[in-house]
Every structure is written in structure tokens, then in C-alpha cells.
């Protein structure tokens, strides 16, 4: 039987479309995983100094080394083994501002089941791609507005007080800039937690000297989020507004041309790296419509193109490849003007 050209063409298109395969679209239903979740925020504020109940030995026993790191590095109230520590704890949990923070966290996060389900799903994908990596225990806490994510070798701490919403009145009152607290919202808990765990796992051995090195490293982290947060949109993964995402897409070629023409890719000065990688209201030196952390977004596009052009590369290959120049070259990244 012979088909006319239009019908044959349609069948060919349908066949080719059916053959397309997304390497990140994998089935992890057979990947067994049971995460452990703990509420240090509730356990800590359950102590009652008024009734003489300030013994933190049980907390130390339950949370182990993370409790030490939390008290020393996050709250900065001392070591649990030092004299006078219980007094420091009593002062902290009876402080009116901390009590308010705790109450607001309990109101917003009385039930963290949706977050637990999202994290469990994300770590199933993580375990699939990184089968020999540590799966952490998840500890929800109050950081006194110090740290959103804290990672130790075995524990991932999530400061819920850092995700109370862009309209939470305390944030501007304590001097946080708007470009920061605009993104301190519940939907950012899981993306920032996963990115924080990935960063803690790989940043020690990562080579980061030039702006390109930093861009590629951040791009790798975001690409892994592509793999583990299958239901999240790009805007959520990177924490950009819809307008910012549209701006990046519209001006991608001009952004790249600016980086190349100004010879910024191999810059090693802190100022050049900081303004493209770290949080800011916009990137200094280009239009103020640009989002801060724009270098992360560009690095993400390069890494995506690299993985598209090199389908044999695994996620582990990507994360352990420290040659950012080779990744750029093999990506064939060159957005059209």
C-alpha cells in the first residue's frame, strides 16, 4: 500500500515524536526509601523553664551531633556540654521575639506532611541517580532567622522560620532586603533543601576559581533539581519570578554576548563573581530588569545543553567533572541573536 506524501510525512513525524525520550523521565517506584523526619522546633520549645524543665540531655541524645552544630553554629547559644547551657536555652525559648517566631512557624507548618512527601519523592530520584550517596535525616528547626538550610554529613536541617512567606512582617522589620524575602516562601522549602544537600555533598571537591567555574557548578546543581523535582517548574527550582524567567529567555543571547565580549567568563575577582552568582536585586552593569543570580541561570542553560549533547554522561559524571571549560565546549552552547 502506498501513502500519499502528506500522510506519509505525518506518520513519520508521529513515529519520530514517539521515539523521543527524556533521560530524566525515569520510573523510581521500585526505589525503596523511607526518610526520617524530626521536629526539633517543637521539641525545643516544648521545654518549660517556668516549671524547671530545661534539661536538654534528651534533645542531645535524640539529635546527636546535629544538636551541637545547631546550638553552636545556628543559634549561637553555646555547646550542650558546657556549664550554663541550659540557662542559655531557657533564655532563647522565653525570648518574646523567638516565641513569636515559634508560634508563627507552628501556625504555618503545623502539618508538614506535604513537604515530607515531596522530599521523599525527590530523594527517591536522588537515590536512583546517586545510589552510593548518603540519604540524610531531615530535621525541621527554627534558625532565629540565621540559616534556611544547614547540612551535616548525615542530617539536613531546614529552618522553617526562613520560609514564612514574602508578606511575613518580621522580615523587613529585622532588615532583610526585599529581594531576599520575596523568595522566602513555603514553595521554596523543598527546592532549597535539595539544592542545599547537593551543594554540601559536592562543593568541597568542586573547583571554583573563575566566574565560569561558579556558573557551571550552580548549573549542575540546578540540573540535578531538574532530575529530582519532576513536578516543579523552572521558576520554582531557581526561585525566579515569572517576569524574571521571561526576561532571561528573551535576552539570553544578549546576556551571553555581554559575558563573552566583556571577557567575564574567566574573571577571578570577587566583585565580578559575586554580582553574577549571589543574591542581589539585579546584576550591576546590565539593565535593572535583570534578576540577581543571573549567572546561575546561564550556567543552568549551559549544563542542560551539555547533557543534551552528551547523552552518555550520567549524573555522577556531571557532578564529578570539574573541567568547566570542557563542559562549555562540549555543550556547544551559543544562543542565537
pLDDT in tens, 22-54: 778 888 888 889 999 999 999 999 999 887 778
* Residue 25 lies inside a defined structural domain of this protein: no
Q: Are residues 298 and 166 in the same domain?
A: no
**Where do the DSSP E strands lie in the chain?**
37-39, 137-141, 149-151, 155-159
* Residue 15 lies inside a defined structural domain of this protein: no
Which of residues 202, 236, 260 is at a domain's end?
202
Q: Are residues 257 and 309 in the same domain?
A: yes
Strand partners, 138: 37, 156
| Least trusted range by pLDDT, from 70-79, 118-127, 198-207, 223-232 | 198-207
Looking at the structure of the chain, the number of domains it has is 2
pLDDT in tens, 256-306: 999 999 999 999 999 999 999 999 999 999 999 999 999 999 999 999 999
pLDDT higher at 107 or 50: 107
Q: Print the domain residue range for 100.
A: 37-202
Instruction: Name the phi and psi angles at 37, rounded to 5.
Output: -115, 140
Q: What percent of the chain has pLDDT over 90?
A: 85
Cα–Cα distance for residue pair 205/196, rounded to 1 Å: 15
Which of residues 184, 202, 220 is at a domain's end?
202
What's the whole-model pTM score? 0.91
Q: Are residues 186 and 240 in the same domain?
A: no
Instruction: Name the phi and psi angles at 141, rounded to 5.
Output: -150, 175
Q: What percent of the chain has pLDDT over 70?
A: 94
Q: Are residues 117 and 183 in the same domain?
A: yes
Q: Are residues 150 and 254 in the same domain?
A: no
Q: Are residues 180 and 265 in the same domain?
A: no
Q: Average of pLDDT values for 157-171?
A: 98
Cα–Cα distance for residue pair 269/266, rounded to 1 Å: 9
* Residue 297 lies inside a defined structural domain of this protein: yes
Query: What pLDDT, on the 0 to 100 scale, is given for residue 6?
Result: 52
Distance of CA 249 to the CA centre of its chain: 21
Amino acid at each position: 500500500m502506498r501513502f500519499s506524501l502528506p500522510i506519509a510525512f505525518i506518520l513519520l513525524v508521529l513515529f519520530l515524536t514517539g521515539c523521543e525520550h527524556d533521560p530524566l523521565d525515569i520510573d523510581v517506584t521500585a526505589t525503596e526509601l523511607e526518610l526520617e523526619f524530626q521536629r526539633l522546633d517543637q521539641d525545643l520549645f516544648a521545654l518549660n523553664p517556668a516549671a524547671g524543665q530545661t534539661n536538654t540531655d534528651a534533645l542531645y541524645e535524640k539529635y546527636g551531633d546535629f544538636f551541637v552544630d545547631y546550638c553552636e553554629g545556628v543559634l549561637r547559644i553555646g555547646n550542650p556540654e558546657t556549664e550554663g547551657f541550659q540557662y542559655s536555652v531557657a533564655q532563647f525559648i522565653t525570648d518574646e521575639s523567638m516565641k513569636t517566631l515559634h508560634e508563627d512557624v507552628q501556625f504555618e507548618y503545623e502539618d508538614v506532611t506535604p513537604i515530607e512527601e515531596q522530599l521523599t519523592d525527590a530523594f527517591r530520584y536522588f537515590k536512583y541517580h546517586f545510589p552510593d550517596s548518603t540519604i540524610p535525616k531531615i530535621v525541621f528547626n527554627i534558625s532565629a532567622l540565621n540559616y534556611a538550610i544547614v547540612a551535616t554529613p548525615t542530617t539536613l536541617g531546614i529552618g522553617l522560620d526562613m520560609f514564612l512567606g514574602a508578606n511575613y512582617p518580621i522580615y523587613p522589620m529585622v532588615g532583610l532586603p526585599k529581594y531576599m524575602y520575596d523568595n522566602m516562601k513555603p514553595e521554596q522549602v523543598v527546592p532549597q533543601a535539595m539544592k542545599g544537600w547537593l551543594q554540601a555533598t559536592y562543593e568541597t571537591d568542586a573547583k571554583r576559581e573563575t566566574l565560569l567555574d561558579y556558573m557551571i557548578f550552580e548549573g549542575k546543581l540546578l540540573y540535578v533539581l531538574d532530575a529530582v523535582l519532576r513536578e516543579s517548574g523552572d521558576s520554582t527550582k531557581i526561585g525566579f519570578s515569572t517576569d524574571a524567567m521571561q526576561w532571561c529567555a528573551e535576552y539570553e543571547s544578549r546576556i551571553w554576548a555581554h559575558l563573552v565580549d566583556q571577557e567575564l567568563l574567566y574573571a577571578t575577582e570577587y566583585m565580578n563573581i559575586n554580582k553574577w552568582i549571589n543574591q542581589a536585586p539585579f546584576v550591576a552593569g546590565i539593565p535593572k530588569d535583570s534578576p540577581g543570580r543571573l549567572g546561575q541561570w546561564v550556567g543552568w542553560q549551559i549544563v542542560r545543553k551539555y547533557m543534551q549533547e552528551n547523552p552518555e554522561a550520567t549524573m555522577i559524571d556531571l557532578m564529578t567533572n570539574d573541567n568547566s571549560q570542557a563542559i562549555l565546549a562540549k555543550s556547544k552552547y551559543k544562543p542565537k541573536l
